[in-house]
Homo-oligomer: A and B are copies of this chain.
């Protein structure tokens, strides 16, 4: 555990910007330069980082914790589009054109963020053209994930959607264990329902069913054990 040279926060690596894949092409000296441009902010659970329609004028880089990005639908429900966690970034859309934010962003827990202003971000981009390529790669990844979500929303059964959500959590937040994979759930049942576009009750029912079939074991509302990953993959309809 070291201290971040730019902000004094505790990090495993030396610099907070090192966590972000878009800067991974840079050497340590360049990272230092970027670190000097970064300001830091901390949010508590429930704090709003960004409101739909705002023009924030900066890029948000996730350092610790997780946030949800969501719309409100006409009938007042929330549709969660992304959960961003350590190493993810968002807000770059609003720097390129002059677009307003397309969604609200709210902290799901205590969150630490690096912030880069529009002007600094642009000067970094022109100084290090390779970063643009990294950003394109990241966006392509995000697009690929969206494509997969869209497929899952559009065609697959509700069982399949729930299964693939659990799998994505297992991959992103899971740690292996004797009996299976221990998964920290970033979203509540209601949150998962809002992400999947189904009813809260349906999420409960599907999870109970999976528990009865010994595919998972619920530890608490915030975590579970994935016992039979293969079965989930099968239900999810994904080939991987």
How many copies of this chain does one complex carry?
2
Can you pick out 16 interface pairs between chain A and chain B where the beta carbons lie within 8 Å of each other? A73-B151, A73-B237, A77-B155, A79-B155, A93-B143, A97-B137, A102-B144, A103-B147, A125-B133, A132-B132, A132-B136, A139-B139, A139-B140, A142-B143, A150-B150, A155-B197
Of B75, B132, B137, B153, the contact of A150 (CB 8 Å cutoff): B153
A92 within 8 A of B: yes
Please state if B144 and A146 are interface contacts (CB–CB under 8 Å): no
Chain B residues with CB below 8 A from A151, complex form: 71, 73, 79, 81
In whole angstroms, how far apart are the Cα atoms of A126 and B140 in the complex? 19
In whole angstroms, how far apart are the Cα atoms of A80 and B93 in the complex? 25
A104 to chain B: closest CB distance in Å?
Answer: 12
Identify the closest chain B residue to A148 (Cβ): B102
Of B75, B79, B129, B139, the contact of A126 (CB 8 Å cutoff): B129
